[in-house]
Amino acid sequence: MTGAADMLPGIAPDEPRFAALRRLFSRERPAALVAVAIVTAFVAVALLAPVIAPYDPLAQSYLRINAYPSAEHWLGTDQFGRDVLSRLLHGARNSLLFGLISPTLAAVIGTTLGVVAGYFGGAVDRVVSRLVDLLLSFPELLLAIMIAAALGGGFWNVVMVIAIAFVPGFARVARATTLAVKREPYIEAATAVGVATPTIIRRHVLPNIAAPIVVLTTLWVASAIRLEASLSFLGIGTQPPNPSWGNIIRDGLGNVFGSPWPIIGAGFAITVVVLAFNVLGDALRDLLDPDTA
């Protein structure tokens, strides 16, 4: 039986999502393939760090201070004799946790605020918009520093700091897309037949605004990793002696002439992982945005 798309001239059938995904990560897009490989390796290293790390990242030795790279210590040691490679591997765990938890939490809070503001409008929209504008008036890093200085260090405090810094962006995107979806005929039809507002939002609004939210979440995983490293570098993120790529660089600055390997290793890791997540986010945007398909 002939499909409806075949009966109407000029209308091509929709490309299956899996076919689009294969096309997106085909050999024609080597950058996306490399980004996926790097992100996969990063996740595997973060999860398996206790198994693959050759040494305890907190173990110190006065006999191995500022050792050069060798077969025993691939990236040398720092000013306390700690193995740099082991600290980088365990630091990846913190980066993965902050990079996934903070943007996800920000996406939930920001999307909720944006959808409520865009769908209901009126006084609710004005209050939410003013709150978002207030938070957006501060750069992300400055806002994170201010909140972290008030809350202090600690894992969940840093998670909340990064999440709050990202909430305004999610709220704006969710509000804008909700305003566009709200004008669609199927929303008006559902309202006319008496469908409850929570049901409309759950079944019709959220699925149709999910694409930009997913893309933004992927892109801001990279920003969360960078922001956590910046906070740790400033001393208000992950607290020593627990390893984090940011505080590894901070410790290395005081001993840059004795052992530059912590700065080189952590700086390279941050650069590569952040770039890979950005490339992956751009690839997902190409997949999910019909205007670029």
Give the pLDDT of residue 8.
38
C-alpha to C-alpha distance for 98 and 106, rounded to whole angstroms? 12
Mean pLDDT of the chain: 86
**Residue 158, pLDDT above cutoff 50:** yes
Distance of CA 241 to the CA centre of its chain: 25
What CA–CA distance (Å, rounded) separates 132 from 200? Answer: 25
Among 58-62, 103-107, 212-216, top mean pLDDT goes to 103-107
Delineate the domains of the chain, giving CATH numbers in brackets: 82-292 (1.10.3720.10)
Residue 77, SS3? strand
**Residue recorded with tokens 């990079």:** 99
Cβ–Cβ < 8 Å for 266, 259: no
Mean pLDDT within 140-145: 85
**Is the confidence at residue 9, as pLDDT, over 50?**
no
CA dist 28 and 137 (Å) reads: 41
Helix ranges, the chain (H): 4-7, 17-24, 30-52, 84-120, 122-136, 140-151, 155-182, 185-192, 197-200, 206-234, 245-253, 261-288
Scan for tokens 């260090």, then name that residue.
153
Give the Cα separation of 225 and 100 in Å (integer).
9
Pair of tokens at residue 40: 């996969």
pLDDT category of residue 87 using cuts at 50, 70 and 90: very high
Residue 10, pLDDT above cutoff 80: no
Compute the radius of gyration of the chain from its Cα atoms. Answer: 23
- Tens digits of per-residue pLDDT, 28-86? 578 888 999 999 999 999 999 999 999 999 999 888 999 999 999 999 999 999 999 99
The dihedral through the CA atoms of 69, 75, 79, 82 has a sign that is negative
